[in-house]
Structure 1
Amino acid sequence: MAIIIAGERSGVGKTTVTLALLAAMKARSRSAESPVQSFKVGPDYIDPMFHSYITGLPCRNLDPVLTSESYVKSCFAKHSQNAEYALIEGVMGLFDGATGKDDTASTAHVARLLNVPVVLILNCASTSRSIAAIAHGYRTFDPRIHIAGVVLNRVGSDRHLELLTQALEPLNLPILGVLRRQDDISIPDRHLGLVPTAEMSDLDGIIERLAYLGETCFDWEKLLPLLGSPPPPALFSIGREEEEILRSRGEGLRIAIAQDKAFSFYYADNLDLFREMGAELIHWSPIRDRTLPENIQGLYFGGGFPEVFASELAENKTARESVHNAIKSGIPTYAECGGLMYLCDRIVDFQDQSFPMVNIFPTAAKMGKRLTLGYRQAIALQDSPLMKKGDRIWGHEFHRSSLTEICNQPLYSLQGYDSHLQYASEGWQKYQVHAAYTHLHFGAQTHLLDSFLSRCRHSC
């Protein structure tokens, strides 16, 4: 039913292999409605965009820190049970997770939770017989993980492949695919990872080449049996009465969600939960649309790349004024990372150019070289539209900007996954705004969304 694509480390070609396999599976599928369902381990936003572009279905994030182990199981069961094929892209190296002490939130962790076989990608550049030692180490490090086979990436020549094959033979570890060095397909990237799909004019051509690799570089006679196991049992159900109660939380509420090339970082499950609670998401573009949509009861600004499109956001003065006036009038607003930056007085880009923004918070978001990255446990220091003072939630930071002024009454105090790691307090709460760098997944924290929708209803 599913395989999980893992790497020996970051940068070995997980995304290329995943996209090639997804494109080939899509072409091979006999199902028109739900042929291929993809998943991504961890908090990533951009890789799932490429998955969805190929499959036509939202990619689902599997993250046991942002959600929970039980949520990961339920999410996988729910979205894979009707799919002909399911494929999970891992994160970093197979055993790399939130800490060096164990493999929490790693690809291996998720593979164990779901009992899914692992296809391990090996970077074969500059090595031959040593590849067997690497494969043997990964195979035996945790016997609970079933490594079903390997994909040899960056193979230099037929002679190189012969040496690699000879080295791996004693391990009896199937070679499921071989990609040559010239098979590398370059997908452009920038300071937070790959360039999003919406900005790539030649994406269809790249996908076409990936589909060819997927069909010609893999041993489908060996792969297909791994994808042929029965679907997992559904791990949850919801009664009609409970469903009606859930839908009543947001029934009749219209939430304006900023969605364009500047704001594109949203977890598919978060959007689904808004709808399952009865709210209607009204998409709008702070770049193109002159004003906010009419008759809305809440605002939602996700992350993205507002710094890349700061000039266009600044030029749309009427949209900025519309947001400013709506927030000052008391409309409940949730903004994370890029959304927080948009609500600042200005954004200062990598070239040190300054662009005016919505000016709700008296601070600038200034781009820098330092990457802030990692899981955070956020403890609320005051009430907000999502939380009560003292509440604790898990989130994730991933940004290269910082604020020039820190709120004198910050929204959160932050701890790392290892609780002894303390980070600077962050976030703003003003009017009815909850804004912070920390990204949240509502899957196992539906009370946050419940609180936000309740505030939207009472502010009508």
Structure 2
Amino acid sequence: MSIIIAGERSGVGKTTVTLALLAALKARSPHRIQSFKVGPDYIDPMFHSYITGLPCRNLDPVLTSENYVQSCFTKHSSNAAYAIAEGVMGLFDGATGRDDTASTAHIARLLNVPVVLILNCASTSRSIAAIAHGYRTFDPRIEIAGVVLNRVGSDRHLELLTQALEGLNLPILGVLRRQSEITIPDRHLGLIPTAEMASLPSIIERLAHLGETCFDWDKLLPLLKSSNPASVISSPKNDKFITKPTIKPQIKIAIAQDQAFSFYYADNLDLFAEMGAELIPWSPISDVALPDHVQGLYFGGGFPEVFAAELAANEQARNSVQRAIAAGMPTYAECGGLMYLCDRITNFEDATFPMVNILPTVAKMGKRLTLGYRQAIALQDSPLVKIGDRIWGHEFHRSALTETSDRPLYALQGYDSHLSYPAEGWQKHQVHASYVHVHFGAQLHLLERFIATAASNYSLLKL
């Protein structure tokens, strides 16, 4: 069996509990531990993978599909000894707030796995039973296997909480006291990524100790042992949930991977390889040129605004990218990648740094957070889309462009189709650049088009 770690609401400690569980499990077991993250998050999965040594897989039915979520979970949990998924927001909080679509509860139902519910016990005692009872009965289709009591203040506080929960016959699977010794620093888009944290090994060591001492392992381990999920997931018809690639050109794609560019879905990287495209990592911060003999460029999201000075200082790399794009190299850039291709980036301190200068606009950081699922309708052909294509993606950024394209790439709608947003994105040369992050899992035709474009254009490039 597997579990999903859920919170009664955001901010109750889902990530801390999940990391403590993974770290303790890794310390006590040599077996494979597969983790998952509900939703479009990039940073939490980095911490999962740092601990487990395996790529964390995102489970998002909006960016992909319900069938894809089931197939992905089955594929990656089937050869692991333990499988753990970290939820998103509160247990029943979905994409719109009006229903639980894309919520932790939605994923729990799809996978038929039990929920471990984290309760914030600060400033409450007997009322904790009413909260737990409400979550347990709100949707009878959800099995809550037990609770983890977080922010418990004292032995007396724990005694009161335990007495209150006794009548519910709901196992207490863990108790975390109020503590400030373990703090993972964050900034404007969430936790600071693992590659930037020199103190991470010691933090993980403390998390492992916390996990070893705060969980009831006799109750937890039987829940954690991965097994073949319910028949609804493993039935023969579901073998078609992950579309098989239809083209297999042997080409090389340069992928920007360093402290500035680290937001990539593990499934997307796998799909490139499954389709015969070799991803060649390179660093726009430290490498002076693109890798040799590449036929396409891939810039994911990340924090180019934080490393704008370093990116600007590497003029050779910027010139190398500019020459390749001007020569017609197919390029896919999302969010942080789009910012790097702009004329300049202006950071939070209002300092401005030159970038690649392919897109005639400035990416300027601000206080406003743009966040949410988007249905993007293609207004232009690009290496990724054809006019009229409708794809699902996700926006998450605090920058805005000072100039927009006079021929925008996308018209945007929210998850609710009646919500519309300003058209955005750029198509220039053979560049597809947008703030919208895309998961290729259930939209494989996009990746096929990009790889085919890279393969067909390579013979025309003269760098």
Whether TM-score is above 0.5 comes out as yes
In 2, Cα distance between equivalents of 1:450 and 1:300:
14
The question of whether the paired residues in 2 share the 8 Å contact of 1:148 and 1:173 is answered with: yes
In 2, Cα distance between equivalents of 1:160 and 1:456:
62
Tell me the alpha carbon deviations over residues 110-163 of structure 1, each in whole angstroms, 9 at most, x when there is no partner: 000000100000011111111111111111111100001000000000000011
Instruction: Name which of 210, 215, 218 aligns with 1:218.
Output: 215
Q: Secondary structure at the match of 1:382?
A: coil
The one-letter amino acid of 1:265's match is: F
The question of whether the paired residues in 1 share the 8 Å contact of 2:83 and 2:225 is answered with: no
Q: Secondary structure at the match of 1:104?
A: coil
In 1, Cα distance between equivalents of 2:326 and 2:395:
27
Moved more, 312-321 or 19-28: 19-28
In 1, Cα distance between equivalents of 2:7 and 2:37:
13
The question of whether the paired residues in 1 share the 8 Å contact of 2:94 and 2:101 is answered with: yes
The one-letter amino acid of 1:456's match is: A
2:115: which partner in 1?
A: 118
Q: Secondary structure at the match of 1:388?
A: coil
In 2, Cα distance between equivalents of 1:29 and 1:65:
34
2:18 pairs with 1:15: no
Q: Secondary structure at the match of 1:439?
A: coil
In 2, Cα distance between equivalents of 1:85 and 1:293:
38
1:73-222 superposed matches below 5 A: 73-182=70-179, 185-222=182-219
Moved more, 228-237 or 296-305: 228-237
1:446: which partner in 2?
A: 444
Cα gap change, 1:98/1:124 in structure 2, threshold over 3 Å: closer, same or farther?
A: same
Instruction: Name which of 405, 413, 416 aligns with 2:414.
Output: 416
Instruction: Name which of 295, 299, 304 aligns with 1:297.
Output: 295
Q: CA deviation at 1:228?
A: 3.5
Long gaps (5+) in structure 1: none
In 1, Cα distance between equivalents of 2:352 and 2:30:
52
Q: Secondary structure at the match of 2:374?
A: strand
In 2, Cα distance between equivalents of 1:266 and 1:228:
28
1:243-258 superposed matches below 5 A: 246=246, 249-258=247-256
Cα gap change, 1:229/1:190 in structure 2, threshold over 3 Å: closer, same or farther?
A: closer
Q: Secondary structure at the match of 2:287?
A: coil
Tell me the alpha carbon deviations over residues 205-233 of structure 1, each in whole angstroms, 9 at most, x when there is no partner: 00000001111100011111212363226
Q: Secondary structure at the match of 1:23?
A: helix
2:48: which partner in 1?
A: 51
Long gaps (5+) in structure 2: 459-463
The question of whether the paired residues in 2 share the 8 Å contact of 1:36 and 1:86 is answered with: yes
Cα gap change, 1:24/1:388 in structure 2, threshold over 3 Å: closer, same or farther?
A: same
The question of whether the paired residues in 2 share the 8 Å contact of 1:38 and 1:88 is answered with: yes
1:71: which partner in 2?
A: 68
Tell me the alpha carbon deviations over residues 177-213 of structure 1, each in whole angstroms, 9 at most, x when there is no partner: 0000026621000000000000000100000000011
The question of whether the paired residues in 1 share the 8 Å contact of 2:82 and 2:226 is answered with: no
Q: Secondary structure at the match of 2:179?
A: helix
Tell me the alpha carbon deviations over residues 164-185 of structure 1, each in whole angstroms, 9 at most, x when there is no partner: 1111111111100000002662
Give the aligned length.
Answer: 451
In 2, Cα distance between equivalents of 1:216 and 1:286:
43
Please, what TM-score do these two structures have when normalized by structure 2?
Answer: 0.96
Q: Secondary structure at the match of 2:124?
A: coil
2:262: which partner in 1?
A: 264
Q: CA deviation at 1:24?
A: 1.3
Tell me the alpha carbon deviations over residues 377-421 of structure 1, each in whole angstroms, 9 at most, x when there is no partner: 000001111111011000000000000001111000000001111
2:284: which partner in 1?
A: 286
The question of whether the paired residues in 2 share the 8 Å contact of 1:428 and 1:436 is answered with: yes
In 2, Cα distance between equivalents of 1:358 and 1:48:
29
The question of whether the paired residues in 2 share the 8 Å contact of 1:380 and 1:391 is answered with: yes
2:228: which partner in 1?
A: 231
1:339: which partner in 2?
A: 337
The one-letter amino acid of 1:440's match is: V
The question of whether the paired residues in 2 share the 8 Å contact of 1:78 and 1:234 is answered with: no
Identity of aligned residues (%): 78
In 2, Cα distance between equivalents of 1:94 and 1:184:
27
Please, what TM-score do these two structures have when normalized by structure 1?
Answer: 0.96
Q: CA deviation at 1:29?
A: 2.1
Instruction: Name which of 352, 374, 377 aligns with 2:375.
Output: 377
Q: Secondary structure at the match of 1:414?
A: strand
Q: CA deviation at 1:234?
A: 4.5
